[in-house]
Amino acid sequence: MPTDPLDPSFDIKGADYGQLFDLEADPGEVRNLWDDPAHGSVRDDLLAVLRDWLIESNYRTRDWMAEER
């Protein structure tokens, strides 16, 4: 698994799973489309947007409340 966030095949947080729903066709979020090949491009586009945001924002969650402890 790639560990470089600039690698297009880099997976967010190392997960090989996720959730992707068509909220118009499935408002109850019953059918997960994550592994559906017909929705692979949507999944990949969303992962790319999230990856880019993580890189650009330099967002860290590990110690987000460290100052309050």
Over residues 4-56, the pLDDT tens digits come to: 545 545 555 556 678 899 999 999 999 999 999 999 999 989 888 888 887 88
Q: What is the pLDDT of residue 65?
A: 64
On whether the CB atoms of residues 39 and 33 are closer than 8 A, the answer is yes
Ramachandran region, residue 39 (left: φ > 0; alpha: ψ -120 to 50; beta: rest): alpha
